[in-house]
């Protein structure tokens, strides 16, 4: 569906335009209620209570772990406790990867420990560890260009440094070094792979985990890990002496089979169009070193709390509000891909959607992928969001977040709600992803944004253009 | 010597005053040279090069470890490389404590890992760990007042929170909770001991190690560890549910015998009074999680570099400059106590002294314990230091730093040079004590201060009042 020929796509859009020529608008009473929801949300403690509950009572919840199961039980119970009308789950199956222990050291010329963490889907090293000479590359491009003879049997080390930005755009390259680098090094015959953590905390001895691109079960894999930033600095200093540098990686981890978890879903049932849904959510799994507060307890909490505010209105909204707590986002969007596959044929029933998965910083920008006739309704939403500091950028598409990008890719109209990610990559995928990193006021601003747009989309007269194959040109997948 | 009766002390001071009635002064030529040394030091990279070399080539150097031996070899070589006239070492024997592994977890009601670190001289837990119910105290005083029946068989947890201050004074209580708390809990029958780290980094999952007060070989000891600040927050949240909370500590560590290390000493030999010494230094050992950059690579580097600047003058100073790299400060001033014991009878030959052991922040205050006739010379030193931002406080005693406090306690005239410690306890005794925490300009300011006063003391006409038993009233030991 994602690769529909443009001619067919254009025809489809013209056809859709022909059918729904009337502009989509949001009634004045709904705008007024949305303004009330917005203001009320800024003083509502539900999201903070939800993320505190999840991170305290469950804590880290690596996909497929015992804590992952406890997180699903927690989510089912929390949806019910908050009064959602319908609570259920849908199974998701994925490879089960486990981290048991990890350590590293410079062996020569200056022996000392290194702080590192194994990456998702990394195989383990032999017992006692893998010791090999380090060969350093300053970029992924340099690794791609390397002659296999220069890396064969060595530990490849890619030293790309991310810097802080409001939109976190360095993560594009940072994650590419982590995802694409290991398979490239493995294919060239390397013995192991190290990167400078894809993180912006320059002075913390805390490494950033995350998934590798080891997806092809037939391709060669090698032990892969990330060094903390100060450890990468130290390795750079040691390499600068110009002597051969030997590093030992000792990783006990790997894929041990298959696991079936679940997406957990709560709904506020629409009174007028119960089968039409406004879709929001976050992902329930987290990496294991932290307690998954910003990634993505915040997204779960923001969207549960926004729906709860709408639930507590005197009347049910016209359309259904669906909050999806996705399974195993971290190791490759397993929950959202399963969801999109299962619900592909219903895409036209999805009014509008996006999930929250970029921490708890304030939302500062909105963009949308909707049919032209719905631009006016988006502008109405933008008008209510403006006092929250959200700027509407009509020139950018909406991507649907991380997990709901999969439904957007199949034709669901989608928003992008860009959060302030200046410090997100200080803590992302580390032990430091804990509750203290969340500012309750910033979290409440997110809830206000979600409650506002979700309610307005649910009450709109008309749709936003969701249809099989719609928006194929601008789906970015973020 | 430290506990001389005051009457005897007063008699001694009167006698000393009687002998040296002429005021100690610093000749104008020496003041001028000191001003040149001061200005030159601000642009000298020696200290940064020294601390970079130590932390890169040796890294962590826990007293008694293989790296501790490498550190001594490094110090002997570095003194020689810098051109010191005399380089030697003096043996120091102490109990050998080893850390092999450590982990912790909340077992019930909400199972999840905890970041903790074993404390110095802690015994290990049984294999598989020690699991027990937690009993929390908000202060050391509350633990002292507790009925033994309330702690027997439990893990005592003391939750004292340090805050950032320029003079770091919360460490007084923070270190007391770590040092005095474990023996108190052990004596009351506790099974284990936990504290909130004595550290001011509120948001880092990095625990602060440090020594306990388990000194009496006949007294009961119990496994003792520190939680990172966010982990203490999490434990507080879990305890607040009001259910019994079980924690597991799994520590593989303990005393395994005795070890003989050494203080390593470098001297610039005085041309006029070679047997009279100005004493400076730092400690060569470090805790094992970090690379000992601020604690105390900085002190080693500052004092080596200051002496080197004086060495490079056209003429040797009148008195000897002695730089002492002390052994095993961290587990109880073992090197400095051995040094003071060995050199007790020579205390009158020590012109003036202090060591550097509070990181690499700028020096902002000087105080002195000297005989009244030397106050004018101290004021001369203060005059040359004033442009560096150092304020002279004539109302406070000088303590001699940490290691040289032991010689001061025996009668050595001493300074206190107070550094800005606002961020020192963010990194102190943690994995984060790494080179990137040192600002080269701040480090150079320290070298400027040391080069200035050391040179002026070496050239002074007259002494500062060192004598057996002098200053017993004001020796604080810092």
DSSP letters along A339-388, please?
HHHHTGGGGGGEEEE----S-SSPEEEEEEE--GGGHHHHHHHHHHHGGG
Residue A468 confidence (pLDDT) above 50 = yes
Rounded CA gap, B40 and B25, in Å? 24
Q: Which residues in A lie closer than 8 A to residue B115 (C-beta atoms)?
A: 431
Of B59, B205, B437, the CB nearest to A432: B205
Confidence category of residue A15, pLDDT binned at 50, 70, 90: very low
**What CATH class is the domain A24-85+269-459?**
alpha beta
Q: Under a CB-based contact definition with an 8 Å cutoff, are residues A291 and A431 in contact? A: no
> Among residues A397, A451, A394, A388, which one has the least CA distance to residue A419?
A388
Domain range annotation of chain B: 24-85+269-459, 101-253
Size of interface A-B (CB pairs under 8 A): 91
Q: Please check whether residue A435 touches B, CB under 8 A.
A: yes
Q: Which residues in A lie closer than 8 A to residue B435 (C-beta atoms)?
A: 230, 233-234, 237
Helix orientation angle between B28-41 and B375-385, rounded to the nearest 10 degrees = 40
Choice between A474 and A355, residue whose per-residue pLDDT is larger: A355
B110–A204 CB contact, under 8 Å = no
> According to the model, what pLDDT value does residue A216 have?
85
Residue of chain B whose alpha carbon sits nearest to that of A57: B110
Q: How far is B351 from chain A (nearest CA, A)?
A: 39
> According to the model, what pLDDT value does residue A21 have?
62
A206–B204 CB contact, under 8 Å = yes
Q: Which residues in B lie closer than 8 A to residue A202 (C-beta atoms)?
A: 436
Q: How far is A299 from chain B (nearest CA, A)?
A: 20
Of A113, A430, A436, the CB nearest to B233: A436
> Among residues A365, A376, A348, A458, which one has the least CA distance to residue A415?
A365
Q: What is the pLDDT along chain B (478 residues), one digit of tens a residue?
A: 333 344 344 444 444 444 446 999 999 999 999 999 999 999 999 999 999 999 999 999 999 999 999 999 999 999 999 999 999 999 999 999 999 999 999 999 999 999 999 999 999 999 999 999 999 999 999 999 999 999 999 999 999 999 999 999 999 999 999 999 999 999 999 999 999 999 999 999 999 999 999 988 899 999 999 999 999 999 999 999 999 999 999 999 999 999 999 999 999 999 999 999 999 999 999 999 999 999 999 999 999 999 999 999 999 999 999 999 999 999 999 999 999 999 999 999 999 999 999 999 999 999 999 999 999 999 999 999 999 999 999 999 999 999 999 999 999 999 999 999 999 999 999 999 999 999 999 999 999 999 999 999 999 999 999 999 999 877 444 4
Query: pLDDT above 70 covers what percent of chain A?
Result: 95
3-state secondary structure of A395: coil
Give me B222's structure tokens.
């119990």
ipTM of this model?
Answer: 0.94
Q: Which residues in A lie closer than 8 A to residue B289 (C-beta atoms)?
A: 205
Rounded CA gap, A158 and A140, in Å? 7
Rounded CA gap, A181 and A139, in Å? 10
Of B52, B233, B431, the CB nearest to A205: B431
> According to the model, what pLDDT value does residue B203 have?
98
Q: Which CATH number fits domain A101-253: 3.50.30.30, 1.10.1660.10, 3.40.50.1100, 1.10.3720.10?
A: 3.50.30.30
Q: Please check whether residue B56 touches A, CB under 8 A.
A: yes
Q: How far is A86 from chain B (nearest CA, A)?
A: 27
Residue A19 confidence (pLDDT) above 60 = no
Q: Under a CB-based contact definition with an 8 Å cutoff, are residues A449 and A385 in contact? A: yes
Q: Which helix (H) or strand (E) holds A241?
A: none
Q: Which residues in B lie closer than 8 A to residue A290 (C-beta atoms)?
A: 205
Rounded CA gap, B176 and B50, in Å? 33
Rounded CA gap, B36 and B40, in Å? 6
Q: Please check whether residue B238 touches A, CB under 8 A.
A: yes
Q: Which residues in A lie closer than 8 A to residue B57 (C-beta atoms)?
A: 110
Rounded CA gap, A420 and A418, in Å? 7
3-state secondary structure of B256: strand
3-state secondary structure A285-320: CCCCCCCCHHHHHHHHHHHHHHHHHHHCCCCCCCEE
> Among residues B288, B282, B283, which one has the least CA distance to residue B60?
B288
> According to the model, what pLDDT value does residue A37 have?
98
Q: Please check whether residue B216 touches A, CB under 8 A.
A: no
Q: Please check whether residue A202 touches B, CB under 8 A.
A: yes
Residue of chain A whose alpha carbon sits nearest to that of B59: A112
Hey, which residues does B415 pair with through a beta bridge?
A: B368
Q: Which helix (H) or strand (E) holds A142?
A: helix A140-145
CA distances from B465 to A411, B16, B198, B412 (A): 87, 7, 37, 8
Q: Which residues in A lie closer than 8 A to residue B206 (C-beta atoms)?
A: 204-206
Q: Which residues in B lie closer than 8 A to residue A110 (C-beta atoms)?
A: 56-59
CA pseudo-torsion sign B285, B290, B296, B298: positive
3-state secondary structure of B99: strand
Of B58, B202, B431, the CB nearest to A115: B431
Residue A10 confidence (pLDDT) above 50 = no
Residue A125 confidence (pLDDT) above 60 = yes
CA distances from B353 to B278, B310, B368, B412 (A): 6, 16, 10, 7
B205–A434 CB contact, under 8 Å = yes
| Mutation site, B232, B233, B431, interface A, largest A CB count within 10 A | B431
CA distances from B474 to A28, A63, A291, B180 (A): 78, 61, 49, 24
Q: How far is A163 from chain B (nearest CA, A)?
A: 16
């Amino acid at each position: 569906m994602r690769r529909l020929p443009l001619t067919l796509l254009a025809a489809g859009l013209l056809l859709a335009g022909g059918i729904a020529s009337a502009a989509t608008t949001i009634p004045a009473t709904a705008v007024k209620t949305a303004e009330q929801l917005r203001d009320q949300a800024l003083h509502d403690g539900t999201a903070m209570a939800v993320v505190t509950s999840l991170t305290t009572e469950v804590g880290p919840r690596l996909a497929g772990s015992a804590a992952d199961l406890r997180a699903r039980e927690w989510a089912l119970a929390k949806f019910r406790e908050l009064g959602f009308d319908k609570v259920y789950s849908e199974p998701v199956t994925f490879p089960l990867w486990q981290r048991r222990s990890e350590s590293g050291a410079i062996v020569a010329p200056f022996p000392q420990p290194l702080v590192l963490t194994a990456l998702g889907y990394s195989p383990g090293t032999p017992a006692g560890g893998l010791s090999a000479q380090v060969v350093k590359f300053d970029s992924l491009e340099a690794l791609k260009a390397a002659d296999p003879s220069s890396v064969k049997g060595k530990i490849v080390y890619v030293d790309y440094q991310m810097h802080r930005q409001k939109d976190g755009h360095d993560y594009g390259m940072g994650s590419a070094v982590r995802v694409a680098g290991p398979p490239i090094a493995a294919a060239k015959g390397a013995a192991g792979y190290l990167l400078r953590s894809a993180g912006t905390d320059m002075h913390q001895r805390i490494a950033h985990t995350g998934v590798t691109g080891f997806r092809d079960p037939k391709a060669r894999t090698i032990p892969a890990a990330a060094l903390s930033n100060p450890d990468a600095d130290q390795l750079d200093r040691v390499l600068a002496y110009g002597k051969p540098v030997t590093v030992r990686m000792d990783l006990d981890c790997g894929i041990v089979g298959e696991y079936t978890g679940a997406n957990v879903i709560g709904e506020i049932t629409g009174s007028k169009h119960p089968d039409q849904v406004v879709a929001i959510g976050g992902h329930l799994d987290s990496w294991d070193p932290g307690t998954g507060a910003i990634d993505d307890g915040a997204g779960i909490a923001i969207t549960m709390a926004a729906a709860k505010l709408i639930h507590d209105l005197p009347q049910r909204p016209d359309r259904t509000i669906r909050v999806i707590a996705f399974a195993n986002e971290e190791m490759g969007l397993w929950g959202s891909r399963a969801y999109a596959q299962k619900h592909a044929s219903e895409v036209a029933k999805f009014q509008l959607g996006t999930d929250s998965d970029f921490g708890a910083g304030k939302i500062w920008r909105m963009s949308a992928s909707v049919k032209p006739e719905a631009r006016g309704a988006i502008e109405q939403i933008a008008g209510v969001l403006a006092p929250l500091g959200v700027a509407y950028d009509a020139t950018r598409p909406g991507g649907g977040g991380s997990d709901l990008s999969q439904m957007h890719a199949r034709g669901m109209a989608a928003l992008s709600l860009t959060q302030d990610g200046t410090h997100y990559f200080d803590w992302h995928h580390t032990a430091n992803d804990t509750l203290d990193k969340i500012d309750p006021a910033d979290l409440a601003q997110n809830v206000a944004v979600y409650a506002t747009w979700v309610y307005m989309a649910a009450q709109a007269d008309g749709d936003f253009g969701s249809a099989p194959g719609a928006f194929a040109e601008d789906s970015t997948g973020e």
